[in-house]
Amino acid sequence: MNAQHPAVGLVMGSSSDWDTMKAAALILAEFAIPFEARVVSAHRMPDAMFNYAESAAARGLQAIIAGAGGAAHLPGMLACKTTVPVLGVPVASRHLQGVDSLHSIVQMPKGIPVATFAIGTAGAANAALFAVAMLARHDPTLHTALEDYRARQTAAATAMSAELSL
Ligand code: RP5
């Protein structure tokens, strides 16, 4: 992978989504995946959103992780304009705690898929891990790193039994 050219686009509807989407950025950084992070608001900058989607493939993006809250149209509208896989992250909203975001992202019409993850930081981290898994299919070094990540997770969970004391 070329460190100068992002392989993953990490976009969000507002800088207020960054606290959540940072969980994806941390995973991508951990795996040394070149990525870019941008605010691309579906409602406040629709022309920029379409331009981002339309240029994604030519710029070499292999996945777009898109997070938004409330009327979370960003992932779906990006997916309408590109065949680069879009991974949608519902950001927890103030009034409906992200159930609105989840429904907005997951209920895509047949023909335009958005891979939809859990609400909040777990979803953001898992979207990044999913992107890592996609890239690892053609990158043996990355595949080994992902296997190691899983092994460390298993070891940490296995060690948890020792914490169960009265
Ligand atoms: C959405 O509206 C954004 O994705 C964000 O989750 C939500 C609130 O945005 P701000 O009002 O904080 O900018 O478009």
pLDDT digits (tens, 9 = 90+) for 69-78: 999 999 999 9
Note the pLDDT tens digit of each residue in 16-36: 999 999 999 999 999 999 999
- Tallying the residues shown for the chain, one arrives at 166
Q: Could you tell me the pTM of the whole model?
A: 0.96
* Nearest residue to 100 via CA among 112, 109, 88, 91: 91
Q: Tell me, using a 6 A CB cutoff, whether residue 69 lines ligand 1.
A: yes
User: What ipTM does the predicted assembly reach?
Assistant: 0.96
Q: Average pLDDT for residues 140-160, to the nearest whole number?
A: 98
Q: pLDDT tier at 152 (50, 70, 90 boundaries)?
A: very high
The structural domains of the chain, ordered by start, are 8-139 (3.40.50.1970)
Q: What are phi and psi of 38, to 5 degrees?
A: -145, 150
13 CB near ligand 1 (under 6 Å): yes
pLDDT computed for residue 1 by the predictor: 45
Closest C-alpha residue for ligand 1 atom 2: 69
Cα(63)–Cα(99) distance, integer angstroms = 24
Q: What is the pLDDT of residue 4?
A: 65
Average pLDDT over residues 124-152: 98
The response to whether residue 68 sits with its C-beta less than 6 Å from ligand 1 reads yes
Which run of H or E residues covers position 56?
helix 46-56
